[in-house]
């Protein structure tokens, strides 16, 4: 028995915040108890009994929650994470953890000193196809290279550059799969132009890991809708395609043109993320694995932005 549902607080009711509201409502063992939103209409989005406030600090002050989810623009993330950890509340914060590599540098020590718990929401790590890929990859030998492409037309975010918005997912998957950070990280601006909706960009990243493993990533908000992550190994290639009916396929080295589907679960990644956060709260976890990955992603994106060509 799970006992009483965990009481979750949420800061932010934008596009992704609304996804969290729907997801929490569909996950057993949790309920949305508090929402902080500057939009007065947000009161119509929440379930009965959920308290809505304008000031996110009030959620922490009233201590009526067991965990906090932060779904706001990234320049506010670290401040909110620190405040929650200071109050003794576990936090799930959206990616990227921050846009500022300096402010993340001391965050790990801050969390450790206060025995806190921070989870970073790199959602694709919780997709059943990626989880299966990670589990079966060793049977095909060493990883030789990774190629990834992800994009759509939009979103056009004034608060988050395309590199950080789209690139965070793919960099997280590379770091998680390889268990390491790259020795070299470079970026190339392929396209940049204003469109009616805002600034559009296409960026390519090249990450070089030890053993000459290269990851080439192409992301943008002016691309056909796509999420394609291919891992080339000694005896086969595994492909995670979020938009395909066959989300995971394998291609043997004997015939790279033939893709064989691999059966995976149908769990929704965001629901799995919320379930994992709830489990961490119930178990009283204090490990920094998710936070460390989030910090690593910020560091890699910062290096790519610094070395951006074109």
Written as six digits, the tokens of 91 are: 């936090």
Alpha carbon of 113 to those of 57, 116, 126, 159, 283: distances in Å?
A: 22, 8, 28, 31, 19
Catalogue all structural domains in the chain, each as residue range(s) with its CATH number. Answer: 6-123+270-286 (3.40.50.720), 127-267+302-309 (3.30.360.10)
pTM above 0.85, yes or no: yes
Distance between CA atoms of 53 and 181, rounded to whole angstroms? 40
Spell out the per-residue pLDDT of the chain, length 310, in tens.
457 999 999 999 999 999 999 999 999 999 999 999 998 889 999 999 999 999 999 999 878 999 999 999 999 999 999 999 999 999 999 999 999 999 998 999 999 999 999 999 999 999 999 999 999 999 999 999 999 999 999 999 999 999 999 999 999 999 999 999 999 999 999 999 999 999 999 999 999 999 999 999 999 999 999 999 999 999 999 999 999 999 999 998 765 678 999 999 999 999 999 999 999 999 999 999 999 999 999 999 999 999 998 7
> Virtual CA dihedral for 151, 155, 156, 157, nearest 10 degrees?
-110
- 240: nearest Cα among 161, 85, 130, 105: 130
Distance between CA atoms of 196 and 2, rounded to whole angstroms? 49
Rounded to a whole number of angstroms, the distance between the first and last alpha carbons of the chain is 57
Please report where in the chains the tokens 């005896």 appear, as a residue: 235
């Amino acid at each position: 028995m799970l006992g009483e549902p965990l009481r979750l607080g949420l800061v932010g009711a934008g596009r992704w915040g609304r996804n969290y509201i729907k997801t929490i409502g569909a996950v057993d063992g949790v309920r949305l108890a508090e929402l902080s939103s500057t939009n007065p209409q947000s009161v119509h989005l929440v379930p009965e009994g959920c308290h809505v406030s304008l000031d996110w600090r009030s959620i922490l002050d009233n201590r009526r929650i067991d965990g906090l989810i932060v779904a706001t623009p990234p320049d506010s993330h670290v401040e909110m994470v620190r405040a929650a950890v200071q109050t003794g509340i576990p936090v799930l914060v959206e990616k990227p953890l921050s846009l500022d590599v300096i402010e993340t540098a001391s965050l790990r020590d801050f969390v450790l000193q206060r025995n806190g718990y921070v989870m970073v929401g790199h959602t694709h790590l919780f997709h059943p196809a990626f989880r299966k890929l990670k589990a079966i990859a060793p049977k095909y030998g060493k990883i030789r290279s990774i190629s990834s492409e992800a994009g759509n037309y939009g979103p056009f975010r004034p608060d988050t550059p395309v590199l950080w918005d789209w690139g965070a997912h793919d960099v997280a998957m590379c770091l998680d799969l390889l268990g390491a950070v790259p020795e070299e990280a470079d970026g190339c601006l392929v396209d940049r132009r204003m469109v009616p909706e805002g600034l559009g960009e296409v960026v390519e990243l090249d990450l070089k890991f030890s053993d000459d493993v290269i990851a080439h990533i192409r992301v943008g908000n002016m691309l056909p809708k796509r999420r394609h992550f291919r891992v080339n190994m000694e005896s086969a290639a595994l492909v995670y395609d979020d938009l395909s009916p066959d989300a995971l396929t394998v291609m043997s080295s004997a015939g790279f043109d033939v893709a064989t589907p691999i059966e995976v679960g149908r769990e929704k990644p965001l629901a799995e993320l919320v379930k994992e956060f709830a489990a961490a709260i119930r178990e009283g976890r204090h490990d920094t694995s998710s936070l460390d990955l989030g910090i690593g992603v910020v560091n890699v994106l910062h290096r790519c932005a610094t070395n951006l060509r074109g």
